[in-house]
Amino acid sequence: MDMRTLAAVSLTALALAACTTGEGEAPATIMSSAEDCISFDTSVLGVENASATWVDAAEGAPAFCEVTATLAPAEGSTLGVVYRLPAEWNGKLLGIGGGGWAGNVTLMAAADGLAKGYATLQTDGGNAGTDVWANSWVAERPESATDFSHRAIHEMTVAGKAVAAAFYGQEHRRAYFNGCSTGGRMALMEAQRYPDDYDAIIAGAPVYTLQVQTSAVFRNQTFAAGGFSEADLQLVQASVLAQCDAADGLEDSIVNDPASCGWQPSSLQCSGAKTAQCLSAPQVTALQTAYDGVRASDGSWAMHPMRRGGEASWAMFVGTDGTGQDPTGGGGLANLFPLFFGQGNSVTLANFNDANYLAVRASPFAQMYEAANPDLSAFFERGGRLLMWHGESDAGPSPVGSLEYAQAVMSQNPAATDQFRYFTLPGVGHCRGGPGADLVDYVSAMDDWVESGTAPERLIGSKPDGSITRPHCAWPNVARFEGQGEANDPAGWSCVPRT
């Protein structure tokens, strides 16, 4: 990216800012057309491969100008970016994160933001592939590894601001970032490494440390010694719900505060031979280990604990069937063994051990990839807001890991009292799914926070079919049904301290 070009664009945009509304007035919607898109000078990106295409309005998305390019911030870097500039712009930018070991340039990911009037910024993260677990390229292409770790979102954002300013003829008013899973890690990385990029950041279920991957490996090993059928997992979940579901004042197949649920696997242990109504001794041991987690020799979590109440969905990310293999390949960690241990190493998912864990966490890649620094003072000092959330039934990255990071942010940053909020979503799986109210309009909630200055203490979640609506409370509170009115009416719920 040619920084002189970007500076020139910014100065031009500032000169054109006279078209904005006066102080104290609501900002006007900025309009564009197909002609503006066709004539748009993409040289602002400083690369020869950029193009602009007008896309007519279709179901789920308004008309917009799509600008695509491949940036090369370093030799060997091929960073694909896509900018979607709506015909009716609200003056705000929305950066969007990826998932797994991939970026995300799909229109589906941008559709909601576009419908709200945001200009959306997206990237492939430095790798054009879309298979979220095919990550051998990380070990093979150092510059792509750097892009994916932290550089991609930053470069996407700097260039995207220049594109929007040049296209609309004025600077953006606000810039937000929203991501879940890998996108959540990208979100935290922006707050930590590039605090000037965004005014507000939403980080959902962040895979912010390689402990997520090592947890997957050690969980597979744990269940290899005591595998579960689907019926066994259903049995466990039903037993957990029977003891802990009603603690929030309502039986709805959701445990609102799993950390306070005292259900023990030993309560289901068979007194004799294994039957459909009980668990074998190895199963009980494996389940207890999953709930407890495993500490490494340095005291850190080698395997994050799993929460009670969502066991029936664990197999999506964990090798619960006893084979020692899961659908994610240990979160993609096996493909990175050459990076950590050299070519021809003898480390496997089955024999991965404490020493291997320590080597992974101490590696140069981990130092570059992990977004674990809780010092967000630079981000908060410029007025940045961070909204972080995690589903309590997530079988991928553990909500325990997110809570520990959130608590570190709150304890180390005085500004976090006003500028940081952490939410847990009961019964919600990884980013979406599960019986919980998993559909939340985080972008609108963040925009309300930024524009009003009042931090949210509740987020309202629902199911797309309207079958369930629940309030989600900011930490450390949890939702409790007061026993009056309709359960799907948030007014019947209070946010109360956790027990």
Please give the Cα distance from 192 to 194 (Å, whole number). 6
DSSP strand pairing (458-462 vs 88-89): unpaired
148-151: long-range contacts, CB 8 A cutoff, minimum separation 24: 148/101, 148/103, 148/369, 149/189, 149/365, 149/368, 149/369, 150/189, 150/193, 150/194, 150/368, 150/369, 150/371, 151/73, 151/74, 151/77, 151/79, 151/126
pLDDT at 26: 54
Q: What is the pLDDT of residues 19-55, one digit of tens each?
A: 333 344 556 799 999 999 999 999 999 999 999 999 9
Tokens of 121: 């910024």
Please give the Cα distance from 342 to 65 (Å, whole number). 46
Please give the Cα distance from 422 to 406 (Å, whole number). 7
- Could you tell me which of 216, 340, 206 has the C-alpha nearest to residue 290? 216
From start to end of 199-251, where are the E strands?
Answer: 200-204
Within 10 Å of residue 82's Cβ, how many Cβ atoms? 23
Strand partners, 201: 177, 386
pLDDT at 27: 67
Supply the DSSP string of 76-127, one letter for each residue. T--EEEEEEEESEE-SEEEEE--BTTB-B--HHHHHHHHHTTPEEEEE-TT-
Q: What is the pLDDT of residues 255-279, one digit of tens each?
A: 999 999 999 999 999 999 999 999 9
8 Å CB contact between 50 and 69: yes
8 Å CB contact between 192 and 327: no
Q: What is the pLDDT of residues 425-452, one digit of tens each?
A: 999 999 999 999 999 999 999 999 999 9
Q: What is the pLDDT of residues 378-399, one digit of tens each?
A: 999 999 999 999 999 999 999 9
- Could you tell me which of 225, 219, 229, 220 has the C-alpha nearest to residue 278? 229
pLDDT at 217: 97
pLDDT in tens for each of the 499 residues of the chain? 443 333 333 333 333 232 333 344 556 799 999 999 999 999 999 999 999 999 999 877 899 999 999 999 999 999 999 999 999 999 999 999 999 999 999 999 999 999 999 999 999 999 998 899 999 999 999 999 999 999 999 999 999 999 999 999 999 999 999 999 999 999 999 999 999 999 999 999 999 999 999 999 999 999 999 999 999 999 999 999 999 999 999 999 999 999 999 999 999 999 999 999 999 999 999 999 999 999 999 999 999 999 999 999 999 999 999 999 888 889 999 999 999 999 989 999 999 999 999 999 999 999 999 999 999 999 999 999 999 999 999 999 999 999 999 999 999 999 999 999 999 999 999 999 999 999 999 999 999 999 999 999 999 999 999 999 999 999 999 999 998 899 999 999 999 999 8
Helix axes 152-168, 182-193, angle to 10 degrees: 80
8 Å CB contact between 144 and 170: no
